Structure 1
Amino acid sequence: MTSKKASGQAKPAQRVIKKYPNRRLYDTDTSTYITLAEVKQLVLDAEPFVVRDAKTNEDLTRSILLQIILEEEAGGAPMFSEAALANIIRFYGHAMQGFMGSYLEKNVQAFTDFQQQLAAQSKVLTPEMWSQFMNVQNPIQGVMGNYAEQSRVLFEKMQEQMQKNAEQMLGAFGVKK
């Protein structure tokens, strides 16, 4: 790789961060050691990056992202309840594991898209319009309620389809429920 910060030269498509055995993270883009908080900021800034083991070149990005989530959850206001975490753990090794990951990913993306649309629309609202908007029996609750209901229906349909598929497969082997 060539110098990334030199004028006239394009930055690489993906920032490379190397993790050393002493657990330090080295940003090859800035040629400096960085903290987990700075990696979190890269995520918040939607900077594409990959974390690689300095010795083996193994991709450690997921591990670092999970570490950031762990620190956030251990902090002041966790996002997941113990029950939600326990349910997520129960899906590992389960036949529905792949579907659950896809389901969660699609729902988080849908929620993110909704949030971005709301933010874009809010830029054109004046303070007076915001005041009126917030005083109308909290319309966000209605929108979020609809989102939650759609999510529940999608999950139930997914469960029904999986049950049908399992029954068909077992039926093909002569096993009845």
Structure 2
Amino acid sequence: MSRSRASASTAKAPATSPASDARVIKKYPNRRLYDTSSSSYITLAQVRELVMAHEAFVVRDAKSGEDLTRSILLQIILEEEAGGAPMFTEAVLAHIIRFYGHALQGFMGTYLEKNIQAFIEIQAKLAEQSTGLSPESWAQFMSMQSPMMQGMMGNYLEQSKTMFLQMQEQMTRQTEQMLGAFGIKR
């Protein structure tokens, strides 16, 4: 995927969409990564650069062809988290772990994805408003943004809460339907 196409679709498609024109990276048993488009070995840091550049890619096991993209992305996150300025607190990580195997596990992934997308949209709006500012103007702009950011974040949090409540209601309805099918009333 060309950089211009990739940047145009930044908010719409994940960096690792399995499109036919996605870059293929093969992972060998010795843990080395081979980029088939550049015919060279690459590092995990270079894979991170692909993610940051919104390049479409897929990581495949060199022998079996199994898709290893998620595991490589998780490895990048692990390295970033260990790098000194973690994004997730221990409490957040513990909560995420607790959702595995929970009835809401499937909903949680969708919930997080939609929230991240909403946050990206807020970030894009802020960047759009701040184009062409000098460092001094940027500082002034940011000082004026506090009330606006509070409003945007308030809207974002309200949308997030509404989305979570809708998912919870949907789960309740599905549970009641399933129990009703077995003749069990709540």
TM bin, normalised by shorter chain, reads 0.7 to 0.9
Structure 1 position 78 matched with structure 2 position 78: no
Q: Percent identity?
A: 70
Structure 1 position 103 matched with structure 2 position 111: yes
Report 1:26-37 matches (<5 A): 26-37=34-45
In structure 2, the residue matched to 1:121 is 129
In structure 2, distance between residues paired with 1:37 and 1:137: 34
**Higher RCO, Cα 8 Å, sep 6+:** 2
SS in 2 for 1:59: coil
Question: Would the aligned equivalents of 2:34 and 2:41 in 1 still touch at CA under 8 Å?
Answer: yes
Q: Which amino acid in 2 is paired with 1:18?
A: K
In structure 1, the residue matched to 2:185 is 176
- 1:141 Cα offset (Å): 2.8
Assess, with a 3 A threshold, how the Cα gap between structure 1 residues 24 and 175 changes in structure 2: closer, same or farther.
same
In structure 1, distance between residues paired with 2:108 and 2:92: 13
In structure 2, distance between residues paired with 1:137 and 1:63: 38
Aligned residues: 166
Name the Cα RMSD after superposition: 2.0
Residue in structure 2 matching 1:62, options 70, 78, 97: 70
- 1:47 Cα offset (Å): 0.8
Structure 2 gaps of 5+ residues are 1-19
In structure 2, distance between residues paired with 1:41 and 1:113: 22
Question: How far does the alpha carbon of each residue in 1:9-47 deviate from its partner, in whole angstroms, 9 at most, with x for none?
Answer: xxx821111111000111112222111011000000011
In structure 2, distance between residues paired with 1:87 and 1:77: 20
In structure 1, the residue matched to 2:173 is 164
Question: Would the aligned equivalents of 2:33 and 2:42 in 1 still touch at CA under 8 Å?
Answer: yes
In structure 2, distance between residues paired with 1:53 and 1:95: 32
In structure 2, the residue matched to 1:42 is 50
Question: Would the aligned equivalents of 2:122 and 2:152 in 1 still touch at CA under 8 Å?
Answer: no
- 1:174 Cα offset (Å): 2.1
In structure 1, distance between residues paired with 2:143 and 2:119: 23
Residue in structure 1 matching 2:152, options 113, 120, 143: 143
Structure 1 gaps of 5+ residues are 1-11
Assess, with a 3 A threshold, how the Cα gap between structure 1 residues 131 and 77 changes in structure 2: closer, same or farther.
closer
- 1:69 Cα offset (Å): 0.7
After the TM superposition, which parts of structure 1 deviate over 2 Å for at least 4 consecutive aligned residues?
124-137
In structure 2, distance between residues paired with 1:125 and 1:59: 43
Give the structure with higher Rg (CA). Answer: 1
In structure 2, the residue matched to 1:134 is 142
- 1:56 Cα offset (Å): 1.1
In structure 1, distance between residues paired with 2:69 and 2:85: 24
SS in 2 for 1:22: coil
